Amino acid sequence: MKTNRVTIHTLRAQKQRGERISMLTAYDATFARLLDEAGIDVLLVGDSLGMVVQGHDTTLPVTLDEVIYHCRAVARGATRAQIVGDMPFMSYQASIEQGLVNAGRLIKEGGCHAVKLEGGAQHAPLVERLVACGIPVMGHIGLTPQSVHQMGGFKVQGRGAGGREKLIEDAKALEAAGAYAIVLEGIPAVIASEISAQLSIPTIGIGAGNGCDGQVLVIYDLLGMDESFKPKFVRRYESLGIRIRSAAQAYIADVRDGTFPAEAESFSLDEPVKATTPPALYSSGAAKAK
Binding residue for ligand KIV, selected from 44, 130, 174, 191, defined by CB under 6 A: 44
Cα gap 176→85, rounded to integer Å: 21
Alpha helices per DSSP H over 109-162? 124-132, 148-151
The phi and psi torsions of 15 (rounded to 5 degrees) equal -60, -45
Which of residues 146 and 259 has its CB atom nearest to ligand KIV in the complex? 146
Cβ proximity to ligand KIV, 47 vs 170, nearer residue: 47
Q: Which is nearer to ligand KIV, 65 or 254 (CB)?
A: 65
As measured in angstroms, the least distance from the Cβ of 144 to ligand KIV is 8
- Pairing state of beta strands 214-217 and 21-25? parallel
Closer Cβ to ligand KIV, 48 or 193, answer by number: 48
User: Is residue 185 flagged as an active site residue?
Assistant: yes
Pick the closer one to ligand KIV by CB: 168 or 216: 216
Q: Is 208 in the site for ligand KIV (CB under 6 A)?
A: no
**Torsion sign (Cα): 121, 189, 90, 27:** negative
Q: Does 42 bind ligand KIV (CB under 6 A)?
A: no
Counting contacts by CB under 6 A, is residue 81 touching ligand KIV? no
- Least separation in angstroms between residue 23's CB and ligand KIV is 8
Question: Which residue's Cβ has the minimum distance to ligand KIV?
Answer: 46
Marked catalytic residue, from 66, 185, 238, 271: 185
Is 206 among the residues that bind ligand KIV (CB under 6 A)? yes
Out of 86, 170, 175, 213, which residue is the one contacting ligand KIV (CB under 6 A)? 86
Q: Compute the distance between CA of residue 88 and CA of residue 90 in angstroms, rounded to an integer.
A: 6
Burial readout 249-279 (b: 16 or more C-beta within 10 A, e: otherwise)? eeeeeeeeeeeeeeeeeeeeeeeeeeeeeee
> Which part of the chain contacts ligand KIV (CB under 6 A), choosing from 43-51, 72-80, 153-161, 266-274?
43-51
Residues 6+ apart with CB under 8 A from 96: 125, 126, 129
DSSP, residue by residue, 43-81: EEE-TTHHHHTT--SSSTT--HHHHHHHHHHHHHH-SSS
What residues from 131 to 190 belong to the interface with ligand KIV (CB under 6 A)?
183, 185
Helix crossing, 163-177 with 189-198: angle to 10°? 30
Q: With contact defined as beta carbons under 8 Å apart, do 46 and 239 qualify? A: no
Residues that bind ligand KIV (CB under 6 A): 25, 44, 46-48, 86, 183, 185, 206, 216, 218
Residue numbers annotated as active site: 185
